[in-house]
Amino acid sequence: MTANHVKRAFKYRFYPTDAQAAELLRTFGCVQKVYNMALAARSAAWTVRQERVSYNATSAMLTAWKRSEELAFLNEVSSVPLQQCLRHLQGAFTNFFARRARYPRFKSKRRSRASAEYTTSGFRFRGGVLTLAKMTELLDIRWSRPLPEDAKPSTATVSRDAAGRWYVSLLCDDPTVVPLPTEENAVGIDAGLDHLLTLSTGEKIANPRHERKDRARLAKAQRNLAKKAKGSANRARARLEVAKVYVRVADRRRDALHKITTRLVRENQTLVIEDLTVRSMVKNHSLARAISDAAWSQFRSMLEYKAAWYGRTVIVVDRWFPSSRLCSACGTLQDKMPLHVRTWTCDCGTTHDRDVNAAKNLLAAGRAVTACGAGVRPQRSSPGGQSAMKQEASRREP
């Protein structure tokens, strides 16, 4: 394997037989059970004895649990996904202690993602055919796109979404992901609600508003669900219809963001964006739905990992930077910029489109940071964050 190769997940839909579905559902349940028990044990050890429990200790606990009569059912499924969930828990605690994430939470049967990860000892992949441990039948996979030539998956993750669709994700080295030729272009990107993105070039990318387009369909499905008796088969079918609307919205949103981010990364060497406190901004109930539909966090995540793949640079400007109130022509800072003001004229005589001006200021700030070598990663929390959140959310209201 070449050191420069990128690890990339290739996700495919598959259609399990009844026996395979039953086995996978048992595995999902056991993974959730082991994860929650290990999390409870680690939390209790810290609360009572101020002791940090390692992955090796939880692995020994798993061995003891399997030997007990009460948890003997854990032996009925492959041991690989159970060990992997303990590794994931270890990673969650590592991120928590490094202050990169919240404290790990218990897995919920209803709300958590149903998945199981198999390493090379838990599956066999030969000639484009995948077989999982504890199964004799091959998975009926729809190979919607080819894997890299001579691909050797290091993990296979099986999952089932809320709409009942089954997926398998194969993690492989992808030699086709290489840095793109260097470009001279740099672009500032201002995120909003009226337009999803406004570029410093003056281009505005429309906000598809996928959730709004399916809102009537979703409301109808939710009303139908509310009428069904709890625990009934009819309610289960109605819940599935609601889930189908949600996944339709999510699929379309993700597809649109992939196309936008891929285009921006291909066309520009440097991309400058603004740090947005989306988690705080959605607390503004009048804008929460629109902000969630815009998926700014997902956009940033895609932009950053694609830039890393293809040798591009993403610069994140501090959230307190007054990009809307600053004249991109002369640098004059306006005292206030009410929400209804979409165009304004500076004292220097330059007339600005509010969003284009903000994007130009972001680009200038990014270039200044590159020139002087200052840090560009803003702090994740700052005093007065709540009032700033309201101002920031208001600035982006259409």
Which amino acids are annotated catalytic? 190, 274, 355
Contact assessment for residue 110 and residue 70, using Cβ atoms and an 8 Å cutoff: no
Query: Between the CA of residue 314 and those of 14, 76, 238, 347, what are the distances in Å?
Result: 36, 47, 43, 33
Distance CA 398, CA 396 (A): 6
- Write the secondary structure of 79-136 as one string of H (helix), E (strand) and C (coil): HHHHHHHHHHHHHHHHHHHCCCCCCCCCCCCCCCCEEEEEEHHHEEEECCEEEECCCC
Strand ranges for 270-332 from DSSP E: 270-274, 313-317
Phi, psi of 290, deg, nearest 5:
-65, -40
Tokens of 69: 């009569």
Dump the DSSP string for 181-201: PP---EEEEEE-SSEEEEETT
Cα–Cα–Cα angle for 36, 41, 43, rounded to 5 degrees: 95
Distance CA 67, CA 99 (A): 36
Pairwise CA distance, residues 152 & 106, whole Å: 33
Q: What is the dihedral of CA 227, 233, 234, 240, to 10 degrees?
A: 100
Which two three-digit tokens encode residue 53? Answer: 């429990």
- For residue 66 the two structure tokens come to 């399997």
Please give the span between the terminal C-alpha atoms of the chain, in angstroms, as a whole number.
50
Establish how many alpha carbons lie within 13 A of residue 363's alpha carbon, considering only the half-sphere containing its beta carbon. 24
Q: How far is CA 255 from CA 59, 210, 299, 312, 391, in A?
A: 39, 11, 11, 21, 30
Q: Whose structure tokens read 């694609």?
A: 306
